[in-house]
Structure 1
């Protein structure tokens, strides 16, 4: 998937899926440079050394980049969403990790959260023919905890009567056992299975993302702020691991509450193009047995 759409009069959004698998070196270097430029405008000090900032092609093979730029081409925000395949029974589970989100300080409070957190998940859900998509999130920011809780379904942990299921627990165990590198958590970090809290989380490359309680952006609903303040030790550097799903209920909330009305038509047109590419065109190609398509070859009749 490589799609571009407009969001209002000021921004364009490009969503690039697994660029490490198909982009040439020049295009990949340009994309990485845009991400580092945003990071330099976001971090007050220090630098990040893991994932998409490592400059390695293999680091881009299992990510989906959502890049927001001004109309003049200046990059201002991004989300590096990681694609994880978890070894669960009876079948592997695909998990979308909401990943690292950065926004240029001059562009904050401009309603970009619907793009950076929900847009890519919505399009993936649409492409999967409305099959629920598991999502994960690791953060210590109350504003992000609240946004994820309100955007997705069956989110745990949550201050609003959430319920931890066996699926939540098994998926969390697999993430902490095999996927810590995705969100820069070291092997020495602990994990509280009762509360889904990662203790001493900033030791695996994400050190410069650690925030104090005073510096962490707060949510407009106080219950999320109280939840994070009580559950997390900000001096030690704790994170909460949230798991939820993009399903039909979440999609309805996303379209009716989060997406600006001016962007709904463009979003649905983009979703339609993705469906055309993934569902309709393969069916049309399959029906034509006289033409080559990828590894498929036309059926030949008659004697040689």
Structure 2
């Protein structure tokens, strides 16, 4: 109990004086903890970044099942890349090892006087022994909830690049105003098309797409996508994990050329409805209670912190580097 209190005080202190990032530990079940790092390239030591990258590589190696490893993004351990990343890692408490991760990233879309920040949902890897247990869902949703709370529950545009029906369906079902989505009658808005096109033209390296690829703006599909470091992630339709909704699987099979290596680029919004979707998922009563406590504390912090910052002058604060107490609830 005392350790949990110390952890909360330290995390609250970091949020107060270093609001550009967070590092927290969420405990929602007897089996799993979730470590969440915002922009670790800005603040982590070389040793911390190496430890983080080693955990990511451990999970990716298990997820690739003997195939070659992808050679881009967070898996390279590059500090510059990790300056914009939001990394979430699922830790098996009993085995004390990483069993899944998501690597989201902030992407600034700038064109003339137009500027919009996207949250790109990025890679999700889950150890085969943990697949089908909602781990990928929690890895995607927990950092999104923290980001939403931190921003005062303002809507945020998100992007996702995938050929995997299970991931496509997860994004379409849990984010607001998503295109392409779960309906065969797609409805593309101006922002969908514009943001997806700018993301493809100027930020292909974020998701490992090479110059050989071609862009279908109407369907938001990258044709011949797997040529820029993500080559070893390419899957056949038969091998790609399926979604529980057969319509989602049919949409992917109908519109994507898996032999060529196509990807959808989905654009949607992170909004407070994310919370509703999270609690609609099939979780135990104990898990929902612990999730509620985590969300309540962060919500209270989000309301209190702006008031405290108003009375505290902007200053550089030196934290004890040995004080590593992530939030545990």
TM-score scaled to structure 2, two decimals?
Answer: 0.84
Are 1:214 and 2:238 counterparts? yes
The RMSD of aligned alpha carbons is 2.0
Residue 294 of structure 1 is matched in structure 2 by 315
Q: CA deviation at 1:111?
A: 1.9
Q: Write out per-residue CA displacement over residues 236-291 of structure 1, whole angstroms, 9 at most, x where no aligned residue.
A: 00111111111133432233336654333333433344445555234224225xxx
Q: CA deviation at 1:295?
A: 5.4
Are 1:186 and 2:210 counterparts? yes
Q: Write out per-residue CA displacement over residues 77-134 of structure 1, whole angstroms, 9 at most, x where no aligned residue.
A: 0000111111157552111111000011111112213312222112211211111111
Which runs of no fewer than 5 residues in structure 2 stay unpaired? 1-21, 318-329
Residue 249 of structure 2 is matched in structure 1 by 225
1:58 alignment partner, one of 80, 95, 104: 80
Query: 1:79 is paired with a residue of what secondary structure?
Result: strand
Distance 2:279 2:151 in 1: 17
Superposed, which structure 2 residues align to 1:83-232 within 5 Å?
83-88=106-111, 91-160=114-183, 161-232=185-256
TM-score scaled to structure 1, two decimals?
Answer: 0.90
Are 1:2 and 2:26 counterparts? no
Aligned residues: 293
CA contact (8 A) 1:114 1:258 kept: no
Distance 2:159 2:136 in 1: 16
Query: 1:28 is paired with a residue of what secondary structure?
Result: helix
Query: 2:277 is paired with a residue of what secondary structure?
Result: helix
Are 1:271 and 2:292 counterparts? no
Residue 68 of structure 2 is matched in structure 1 by 46
Deviating more after overlay: 255-264 vs 187-196: 255-264
CA contact (8 A) 1:185 1:206 kept: yes
Deviating more after overlay: 278-287 vs 39-48: 278-287
